[in-house]
Chains A and B, each alone.
Chain A
Amino acid sequence: MIETLRETATPAPSSSLPIVASLASVDKSYGEVQALCAVDFQVRAGEVVALLGPNGAGKTTAVKLLLGLLQPNRGKVRVFGGDPVNPENRMRTGAMLQVAKVPETIRVREHIDLFSSYYQRPMPVQEVLATAGLEKLSDRKFGDLSGGQKQRVLFALAICGDPDLLFLDEPSVGLDVEARRMLWNEIRGLVLRGKTVLLTTHYLQEADALASRIAVINKGRIIAEGTPAQIKAQTAGKKIRCITQLSNNALWQIPGVTEVKQDREAVELHTGQAELVVRELLRRDSNLAGLEVTSAGLEDAFLALTQDTPRVAEQEN
């Protein structure tokens, strides 16, 4: 299903699909802190775009700018071709933000009833409850819900107006594995219905599982952008993990090794030529143990993209 989505929804950068939300040369700072710096970023109709980055990277700031909750210091923010604060834009967007406290004495159904009333053509409450998996909880007070259930209510409030464009800021924070999978399915369902989704996450797996396009953001700058496959390709190759007596220096001398990292008792090597390196490793260290070869996942790509120290520095250690 993910694959089908990607095929249908992945636009090449030159795509002719209309841009529904964009940041153009946007700077945003809070006093001394530069939250976003010269950010150019677009979301096209029908896409699921993941804004991926560590905490404090500027993801939430980007979302708040697109929601018109913040104004940029420089640059242009556009949603549906207009200012995001336009009431008609708000009518067509839904947002799931990180909230520390939601009124706790209001029941799930009541929260949805109120938010639905803001929209012109809301989904029927029953359908919202079903989509968000809240049918059995509709009469519970918000304060009596578990963390994951609370997230689902916030998701329900984001979708209840049947908006064309959805902003999901860290939607699966605090969800367990099962709840996260459920949320993913719900998001995929929305995309199949033609919705456009911008989600922020620091779960790399989540970006990989959902997004047709990923923008990696770190320290207020977009440092990479592309399909999950393209992002992964930025650190091509495989990861080899083993316990060896060879020194780091000796490991660097093996042809094809692009990175050496000590990880507790083992070392991790990165290479584009796994077979060659493994053969050489076994030849040089007959006591080598715990050998594992895996393909470099998005996680590694992400770390490689966002880490501060250039690889050369490690070579000198």
Chain B
Amino acid sequence: MSTASIRFTGAQLARAPRQTAMIYLKEAKYEFLKNLRLRMYTASVLSFPIMFYVLFGLVLNAKEAIGVTRVPTYLIATYGTFGVMGASLFGTAAGLSSDRGLGWLQVKRASPMPPFAYFAAKVITSMIFSTIIVLALFVLGFTAGAVRMPISEIVRLLGTLVMGSLPFSAMGLAVGYFTGPNSAPATINLIYLPMSFCSGLWVPFLFLPKVVKQIALVLPPFHLSQLALGIVGAGNHEPASTHWEVLLAFTMICLGIARIGFQRDQEKMYG
């Protein structure tokens, strides 16, 4: 029996930055593939905003305008927000609560995986799906809805919406830490559908009842959609910085909640 392989000095850890980068890359790649192959995920998260856009922006109201903005353009901003929110919430919360509740996260934690890589992969994956949804809306709008906007505007709108994935990913982490594997999807729907409505993502904000408009002011999707609408000339009169600040504060609160859940989990046994 050779004992030569038993070492007691742990000097061999220092991972090269390249290896660490590789871990993050692979973690994100497989998280993306995992969700891409999940029909539950792609069917609801990708197809709903796109279907709504086709129906309400291209088939029904293509010739209308809201203020000075044509409906097909306006709805890229609002259904874009809706899509980003769904992709991010489901992408983080559903996976996290299932990984936590059904033991997989323990296997990962027992391995030498850098813990942050797990969360980063979920956030990156949400951003990629957000990008896919928004690009799909652009393609549809440009080809079938006669949407025209300068490249700079396209880049700003895409960048804003994809950055908007961060607050919802943070919210997804918080939800994922405080729901069980079975209740997570229902909980997300309970948050996501009313919030979408009240934020003016389905019915344009202008047409919402006054009470709902008041509620919208505290909802993060309202602020993200206003940022996006601001780019296409249909925002309210608040400066963009206000919306960013609200989103940042919301992100920090959600991360704080997620952190409490993370610490609570360190001492809890599953199964």
- Taking Cβ atoms with an 8 Å cutoff, the residues of A that contact B are 8-9, 17-18, 20, 30, 45-46, 60-61, 64, 67-71, 80-82, 86-95, 97-103, 105-106, 110-111, 113-115, 117-120, 141, 154, 157, 161, 164, 167, 194, 196
Contact = CB atoms under 8 A, between A and B. Distances in A.
B2 interface: yes
A12 to B, nearest CB: 14
A97 B267 contact: no
B1 A194 contact: yes
Contacts of A118: 23, 111-113
A101 B5 contact: no
A297 to B, nearest CB: 28
Nearest to A107: B33
Interface string B15-26: 100010011001
Contacts of A90: 110-112
B26 A120 contact: no
Contacts of B22: 117
A80 B181 CA distance: 35
B269 interface: yes
B199 interface: no
Size category, B interface: 35 or more
Nearest to A110: B30
Contact of B110 (A71, A95, A100, A141): A95
A106 B34 contact: yes
Contacts of B101: 100
Given A17-B3, A18-B6, A90-B111, A105 B37 contact: yes
From B8, B10, B111, residue with most partner A Cβ within 10 Å: B111
Given A101-B104, A118-B112, A164-B6, A88 B12 contact: yes
Nearest to A66: B110
B42 to A, nearest CB: 11
Nearest to A116: B26
Contacts of A91: 10, 12-13, 112
A194 B3 contact: yes
Contacts of B109: 69
A8 B8 CA distance: 22
A120 B1 contact: no
Contacts of A81: 8
A161 B112 contact: yes
Interface in B31-52: 33-34, 37-38
Interface of B: 1-8, 10-13, 15, 19, 22-23, 26-27, 30, 33-34, 37-38, 98-99, 101-104, 106-107, 109-113, 181, 266-267, 269, 271
Contacts of B99: 103
Given A45-B6, A61-B269, A97-B110, 12 more contacts: A46-B6, A69-B106, A70-B267, A71-B267, A80-B10, A88-B11, A92-B10, A101-B181, A141-B37, A157-B107, A161-B111, A167-B110
A120 to B, nearest CB: 6
B269 A70 contact: yes
Nearest to A96: B107
A280 B120 CA distance: 75
A253 B27 CA distance: 69
Given A86-B10, A87-B13, A101 B102 contact: yes
Nearest to A103: B34
B107 A154 contact: yes
Contact of A80 (B8, B11, B113): B8
A70 to B, nearest CB: 6
B142 to A, nearest CB: 32
Nearest to B35: A105
A114 B26 contact: yes
Contact of B3 (A18, A80, A100, A111): A18
6 nearest A-B residue pairs (beta carbon): A88-B10, A105-B37, A101-B102, A100-B102, A99-B103, A90-B112
Contacts of A82: 10
Contacts of A30: 269
B10 A89 contact: yes
B112 A119 contact: yes
Given A98-B103, A194-B1, A114 B6 contact: no
A259 to B, nearest CB: 36
A67 B267 CA distance: 13
Given A97-B103, A98-B103, A105-B33, A115 B111 contact: yes
Contact of B103 (A80, A92, A101, A161): A101
A106 B271 contact: no
Contacts of B266: 71
